[in-house]
Amino acid sequence: MRLGYITKLLIVVALIATGILLDIAGMFDAGKVLEVAREYSQHWWLVVVLILLQGILFTFALAGSLFLWVAAPLYPPAMATFILVAGGTLGGLGAYLFSGYLAGDWLEKIKTSRTYKLLYRQNNFLTLFAMRVFPGFPHSLINYSSGILKVNLIHFICAAILGLSIKSYLYARVIYGATSAASLEELLNISTFGPLILLSVLSLLGVYVRQKLTGNHE
């Protein structure tokens, strides 16, 4: 048991060190990555590479979201959305499984706590979807907390696909059509964020109503 804890601790330390080294090397600079990707944009396999790189980064809670600024300028919104959703979902599943492995022993000790039970009650599609679609909500937080809490995997994957599809398409459409810094300011415009925030709020409202009805029934 002790060896297992040490192994997991070493894995975490190695991941932190890797993240720092990649950042120092400029691998998280979206501009540099885009510059390299442009040279190979005519090759079909670049799509596969972008998806796999996102999957790897999201799995280990690294900066997978930077690929929004790589895929969106290179490809039309529909293709960019496919790349972002495939990579984000693949990385989300990887993070779900990886975090579950890291937290396995610790999870057994907290399953009886009130905090765990309170969080686990939010194990539903609408809550996961609301977090996915909300602007700026960190995907790694969703992925890792879902893996630790062992949320329903079908809910997790469906919420990831739907939430990422809606948000990625809205962002990709703005970035692909941008011809100036002024155009990119649309990303901060309520016309872009508004629908995402509304969807998130309505989803959470649905969760609240469902819990009230269930509570009254019980």
Q: What is the pLDDT of residue 54?
A: 95
Q: What is the pLDDT of residue 90?
A: 96
Render each residue's pLDDT in the chain as its tens digit; 218 residues.
454 667 777 777 777 787 778 777 777 788 888 898 999 989 999 999 999 999 999 998 888 888 999 999 999 999 999 999 999 999 999 999 988 887 766 666 555 566 556 556 666 788 888 888 888 888 888 898 888 888 889 999 999 999 999 999 988 888 887 744 445 555 556 566 667 777 777 777 777 776 666 654 44
Q: What is the DSSP string of the chain?
A: -HHHHHHHHHHHHHHHHHHHHHHHTTTT-HHHHHHHHHTTTTSTHHHHHHHHHHHHHHHTTS-GGGGHHHHHHHS-HHHHHHHHHHHHHHHHHHHHHHHHHHTHHHHHHHTTSHHHHHHHTT-SHHHHHHHHHSTT--HHHHHHHHHHHT--HHHHHHHHHHHHHHHHHHHHHHHHT--SHHHHGGGGSHHHHHHHHHHHHHHHHHHHHHHHHHHHH-
User: Global pTM?
Assistant: 0.81
Q: What is the pLDDT of residue 61?
A: 86
Q: What is the pLDDT of residue 218?
A: 43
Q: What is the pLDDT of residue 121?
A: 65
